[in-house]
């Protein structure tokens, strides 16, 4: 399966997906890295890997609709089967999502449905949580709201700061996202009636 990875930042999740895809028996390949930030650290990392990069900054377009139309047009040439959002910091419209319905994943560094949105690690600490983690979910219109495909858990320690917790969760993100992508690429999970449904073993 052909995968486009969307980033806005450092791109460590993008790299973990690219690394997994580089393995011979992995059922997907990264065909493009799309960024809404020219300065995203992940762009240089993608270029260094020889991955195709596309930078489309919001400020270069009149509005959100025009920006998304340009991304969709670029994707039409690349023909991805799957889109993985990996630290992409824009809310994508329903029109866009419907074009890739059931074929779009996002990773969020919390145990959804807890702590959707920003400052998720500090909120987990403030809530007195004893565990934290990350979730890969199908993308739907609400932010961080779609059906959950897979989750990973880490302990939340008394001495944790948002930064130390983020680093611990990130190591699990790097393992979880390739696993979730593999499930989708192999047709072992699909979105149905607002749920992520696992195919039964045959």
Question: Which positions are annotated as active-site residues?
Answer: 108
Find where tokens 């023909």 sit. 79
Chosen residue from 74, 143, 170, 172 binding ligand GRF by CB under 6 A: 170
95/163 with CB nearer ligand GRF: 163
# of chain residues touching ligand GRF (CB under 6 A)? 15
- Tokens representing residue 27 in the block: 């059922």
Enclosing H/E stretch for 31: strand 29-35
CA angle (40 as vertex; 17, 90 as ends), nearest 5:
80
- Rounded alpha-carbon distances, angstroms, from residue 1 to 89, 126, 162, 173, 200: 24, 41, 36, 21, 21
Contact map string, positions 110 to 149, toward ligand GRF, x by CB under 6 A:
----------------------------------------
Burial 96-132 (b: 16+ CB within 10 A, else e): bbeebebbbbbbbbbbbeebbeeebbebbbeeebeeb
Is 11 annotated as contributing to ligand binding? yes
Chosen residue from 10, 64, 70, 143 binding ligand GRF by CB under 6 A: 10
Chosen residue from 107, 136, 139, 191 binding ligand GRF by CB under 6 A: 107
Chosen residue from 80, 87, 133, 178 binding ligand GRF by CB under 6 A: 87
- Feature table: binding site: 11-13, 64, 89-92, 106
By CB under 6 A, name the binding residues for ligand GRF: 7, 9-14, 42, 86-87, 107-109, 170, 173
């Amino acid at each position: 399966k052909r995968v486009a990875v969307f980033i806005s930042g450092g791109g460590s999740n993008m790299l973990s997906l690219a690394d997994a895809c580089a393995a011979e028996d992995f059922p997907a390949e990264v065909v493009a890295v799309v960024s809404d930030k020219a300065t995203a650290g992940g762009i240089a990392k993608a270029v260094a890997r020889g991955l195709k990069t596309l930078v489309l900054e919001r400020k270069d377009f009149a509005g959100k609709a025009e920006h998304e139309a340009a991304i969709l047009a670029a994707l039409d040439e690349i023909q991805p089967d799957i889109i993985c959002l990996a630290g992409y910091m824009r809310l994508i419209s329903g029109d866009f999502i419907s074009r890739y319905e059931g074929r779009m994943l996002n990773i969020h560094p919390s145990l959804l449905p807890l702590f959707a949105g920003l400052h998720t690690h500090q909120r987990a600490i403030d809530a007195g949580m004893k565990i934290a983690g990350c979730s890969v979910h199908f993308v739907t219109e609400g932010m961080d709201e779609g059906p959950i495909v897979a989750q990973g858990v880490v302990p939340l320690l008394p001495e944790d700061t948002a930064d130390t917790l983020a680093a611990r969760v990130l190591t699990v993100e790097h393992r979880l996202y390739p696993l979730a992508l593999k499930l989708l690429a192999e047709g072992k999970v699909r979105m149905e009636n607002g749920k992520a449904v696992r195919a039964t073993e045959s």
